[in-house]
Amino acid sequence: MRQQQFEQTHEPLWAEYRLLLQRLERGPGGVRWRRTARERPPPDVRVERLPRLLRSISGHYALARSRGYSPGLVEELHQLVRRGYRQLYRPRPRWPALVRDFMLGGFPRALRRHASAFWLACALFFGPMLAMGLACAQDPALVYSLLEPAQVADLEAMYDPTNARLGRQADDDVAAFGFYVMNNVGIAFRTFAAGLLFGAGSLFILGFNGLFIGAAAGHLTRLGMGEPFWSFVSGHAPFELTAIAVSGAAGLLLARALLAPGPRTRLAALRLQAAEAVPLVAGAMLMLLLAAVIEAFWSASTAIPATPKYLAGAGGWALVAAYLLLAGRSSTGETDDGA
């Protein structure tokens, strides 16, 4: 078949396909999150024709190439196939269902799949914390081995029982919330990313933060500021500390891919483990958002006495444990673990 005959035969199909592509590519970057009445293509261009049209035009492209039609026509068909391919195979996440399934079961399931990495991260985080806390409670000089004197003074000022707000000098709850989100989620993301440095980065961040928190706890308790400190941290600690350990576990997954890739190349193992780590990172972020809410609007309040705060803290630990151990086990649950 000569080129011009070929073009004339198929031009109506190409025209329909071009129209369909234009419709699909309009809207937000061609992504159709919701098909509202305003965006719906008119009945003459039916979206469900895309797979069939793409298949036909892929065939035309292959024919044009093998028959040696003009480079311009081949390139035009190539572009048409490329555009259609982008539309047909575009990921279309259904966010509400995705987020709901993730929170109800996807996240705890992902964490239970990687329980060993999680326990290792816990040991690397809570171990130094406990050791440093006990040591600083005994030795008044030890805290200065980790913190500058100015930092220690700041710390003591934050938990001064005469403060209007505990745990910080900024006096606004919303500002504190913004800061906690930025700081803590940032730490979680970096803890994960630093796993790419053969695990050394995650190890360092986990250990350093563990030592820091332990030093603060031990030092303040020794100075008799135990009640303001412990009542402040007890509410959000279950969520915040667990989330940091979870992000550490995500970082350790990357490290394992590089150090012990198993029966894969390091690159393939890295791709696999990074995808496995995504639910952990996303889950850690959600837990830290919850922790930031508690820390900003509950923990800092001096109007609430210490006892309810301790009870809330105990309840928080029980809730975290129950959620991570039990959620998402029912057989009726969703099976999609993507984040």
Closest to 47 in 3D by CA, of 87, 3, 12: 87
Give burial (CB, 10 Å; 0-12/13-18/19+) of 162: exposed
Interatomic CA distance for residues 153 and 147, integer angstroms: 10
Strand partners, 165: 301
Selected from 26, 35, 40, 86, the binder of another protein by CB under 8 A is: 86
Asked if 215 interacts with another protein (CB under 8 A), we say no
Write down the least CB distance from residue 85 to another protein, Å: 6
Binding letters toward another protein, positions 124-163, x by CB under 8 A: ----------------------------------------
| 30 contacts another protein (rule: CB under 8 A) | yes
Per-residue interface string for the shown chain with another protein, residues 253-292, x marking contact by CB under 8 A: -x------------x--xx--xx-xx--xx----------
Quick count: other Cβ atoms within 10 Å of Cβ 138? 9
100: helix, coil or strand? helix
**Six-digit token string for 125:** 């985080």
Question: Interface with another protein includes 96 (CB under 8 A)?
Answer: no
The three-class DSSP label of residue 301 is: strand
Q: Compute the least distance from the CB of residue 136 to another protein, in Å.
A: 30
Q: Say whether residue 102 binds another protein (CB under 8 A).
A: no
Q: How far is CA 287 from the centre of its chain?
A: 10
Q: Which is nearer to another protein, 181 or 237 (CB)?
A: 181
| Least gap, CB of 28 to another protein (angstroms) | 5
> How far from 243 is each of 73, 194, 196, 206, 238, CA to CA, in Å?
56, 16, 19, 11, 8
Measured N-to-C along each axis, helices 149-158 and 200-222 cross at an angle, to the nearest 10 degrees, of 60
Choice between 65 and 222, CB closer to another protein: 65
Pick from 78, 112, 113, 222 the residue near another protein by CB under 8 A: 78
Q: Which stretch binds another protein (CB under 8 A): 104-112, 131-139, 172-180, 212-220?
A: 172-180
Q: Which stretch binds another protein (CB under 8 A): 40-48, 121-129, 186-194, 231-239?
A: 186-194
Least distance (Å) between residue 100 CB and another protein: 15
Q: Calculate the CA 294 to chain-centre distance.
A: 20
Least distance CB 206 / another protein (angstroms): 15
Q: Determine which residue in the list 20, 45, 54, 217 makes contact with another protein, applying CB under 8 A.
A: 54
How many other C-beta atoms are found inside a 10 Å radius of the C-beta of residue 192?
A: 28
Q: Report the distance separating Cα 332 and Cα 323, nearest Å.
A: 17
CB contact burial 32-56 (16+ within 10 A = b; e otherwise): beeeeeeeeeeeebeeeebeebbee
Phi, psi of 334, rounded to the nearest 5 degrees? -70, 155
In the complex, the smallest distance separating the C-beta of residue 99 from another protein, rounded to whole angstroms, is 11
Residue 169 binding another protein, by CB under 8 A = no
Pick the closer one to another protein by CB: 24 or 320. 24
Residues at the contact surface with another protein, assessed by CB under 8 A: 1-6, 28-31, 54-55, 58-59, 61-62, 68-73, 75-76, 78-79, 81-83, 85-86, 89-91, 93, 98, 171-179, 181-182, 185-186, 189-190, 192-194, 196-197, 201, 254, 267, 270-271, 274-275, 277-278, 281-282, 338-339
